A = this chain, B = another copy of it.
Amino acid sequence: MYTGSLRRLIDELGRLPGIGPKSAQRIAFHLLKVPGEDAHRLAASIIDVKDNTALCPVCLNVADTDSLCPICIDDRRDTTVLCVVEDPRDIVAVERTSQFRGRYHVLHGALNPLEGVGPEQLRVAELLTRLEPEGVVEVILCTNPNLEGEATALYLARLLTPLGVNVTRIASGLPVGGDLEYADELTLGRALEGRRTMETT
């Protein structure tokens, strides 16, 4: 009951993450309706992002082809503190806090022996080569607070601490605005473990 080109578009849209058959159909019919230039702009931006995007040669974040990423190119950023993340999207999350003025290093994954992801599959070698030339004094391990992220953090801490850098890990605890009653015991345990003296001044 669909035409061939509509069927193909629905199939292609359905491959995108978070897009089920219903959403794919809805988006396809929406694209049928919008002015031709809008649809062409979307198609062009998909091709553009593939053609003109590569990994930053320094931190492996997303960057324009043959260029540093917007953060490494910014010479106001502190080169002595590195924030290690699993994925370029995590950089967006950290940047949104406006609390970090150092640079990043993207591992492109986390240790996961069951899925065959060992240290060689992550961009660890590239991290090691950055420490000395950039004068790094602190590495903040900002991997996810789940099994894979914790294992990766532990692995990196053991690797980096003997090299004389200060290795830190982001805190786990209750989310701001959260409710003790609904906190799971692991998170609450971590929150207790990470307790700090109240500042009263």
Contacts and interface: CB of A to CB of B under 8 A. Distances in A.
A39 B52 CA distance: 13
Contacts of A60: none
Contact of A28 (B5, B26, B49): B49
A27 B32 contact: no
Contacts of A170: none
Q: For chain A, what secondary structure do more than half of its interface residues adopt (helix, strand, loop), or is it mixed?
A: helix
9 contacts: A1-B71, A2-B70, A3-B62, A3-B70, A17-B30, A29-B87, A31-B49, A32-B53, A42-B46
A9 interface: yes
Size range of the interface on A?
35 or more
Interface of A: 1-6, 8-9, 11-13, 15-19, 23, 25-32, 36, 38-50, 52-53, 62-64, 69-71, 87-89, 91-92, 95
Given A1-B70, A8-B45, A49-B5, A27 B23 contact: no
